[in-house]
Structure 1
Amino acid sequence: MIDISTNAAAASDAPETVSTYLRLRGLKPSSNSWKRKRRIRDDDDNAPFTPGRDPGTLGDVLDKLSRDSGWQTTLAREDLVRQWADLAGADTAKHSEPVSLERGLLTVKCDSTAWAKNLQYMRATIVTEIGRRYPDAGVENLRFIGPDVPSWKWGPRAVPGRGPRDTYG
């Protein structure tokens, strides 16, 4: 036979549903093992109101993502090309555009040879400004080229030598 007085004392600590179940089954509830034990955390990373818990800006998150992914150089080069008008000036940007960036050499194509020569005179200033604004782009030198001129050195019947001379007049 089951002693009801000991079960009643033990069941008083347990929730009512557990007490009822144990009483009907004729069992004694175990010591407080049925209660959830609270986890004790040693790290305070998730504690509220601690430093570093404030939400960051979207710009900070994107900077961290680009740094972690190794995209900084590529993004700096793209920014340089897209912001050429701000860098070189609006009038200069109308007559020139960056066309390639390889091994630290930025090649800029100009509308005329006169613009290419004028920009060569301003090379040091432009390189300094690029280094200040876009240090991750890796631009070390600039090359300015004029417009494409017709070449007489192509085709199956091209002859070596200087090409045609006094044929225009």
Structure 2
Amino acid sequence: MAEAPVPDPMPGAAGDVPETIGTYLRLRGLEPSAAKKRRRRKRSDDDENQPFTRGRDPKGVGDVLAELTRQSGWDSQLAREDLVLQWEQVAGEETARHANPVALGDGILTVQCDSTAWAKNLHLMRAVIVTEIVRRFPEAGVHTVRFVGPDVPSWKWGPRAVPGRGPRDTYG
């Protein structure tokens, strides 16, 4: 038996077509070429610009800002400002109407109250308030709270000041 000739898998391929037309067809991707070689690009793990590598997913604005504040060391300052802005949620609505934070330094939050009675009551509730502050704002660095009464005029200054304790009023 005689063997049947094997048909050419790609009639009109590189052998029948002039070289310039074959090159054109290969470049256009119209006809596969036997001489086509695939080159793989070498991936380096340290190149952050490579697609589909770890850490390339888009990040939210909140995540980017949180990372920026952490790297810049602004966390404690922002926590202190949040504490002052959210004082009503920390201390309660009624308490916030009668007591306002006025200073924060060295781990001591100073709160000025409308009257000495409010200052004394909040002084008795100090542990609860400090616990709430530390729970909500640990980066603020508040260790204790100092409650003071209202500002009162001083009787110790001026040309007619006399020695002694001054008037016996609590101003509140």
Q: TM-score, normalised by structure 2?
A: 0.69
State the SS of the aligned residue for 2:119: helix
Matched, 1:78 2:81: yes
Structure 1's unaligned 5+ residue stretches are 1-11, 13-37
Residue of structure 1 in register with 2:61 after alignment:
58
- The CA distance in 2 between the partners of 1:149 and 1:45, in whole Å, is 62
More divergent stretch after superposition (57-66 vs 45-54):
45-54
- Amino acid in the other structure paired with 1:149: V
The residue correspondences of 1:134-149 to structure 2 (distance < 5 A) are 134-149=137-152
Letter matched to residue 42 of structure 1: S
Which stretch shifts more, 51-60 or 131-140? 51-60
Work out which of the residue numbers 140, 149, 157 in structure 1 matches 2:160: 157
Deviation, 1:163, is 3.2
> Sequence identity, in percent?
69
Q: SS state of the match for residue 100, structure 1?
A: strand
SS of match in other structure, 1:91 = helix
Q: TM-score, normalised by structure 1?
A: 0.70
**Displacement of 1:147:** 0.9
Aligned length: 133
**1:134 alignment partner AA:** F
- If each structure's helix is expressed as a fraction of its own residues, which one has the higher value? 1
Name 2:96's counterpart in structure 1. Answer: 93
Over the aligned positions, Cα root-mean-square deviation in angstroms equals 2.5
Separation in 2, partners of 1:137, 1:42:
42
Question: For 1:102 and 1:114, how far apart are their aligned partners in 2?
Answer: 25
**Structure 2: 5+ residue stretches without partners:** 1-19, 21-39
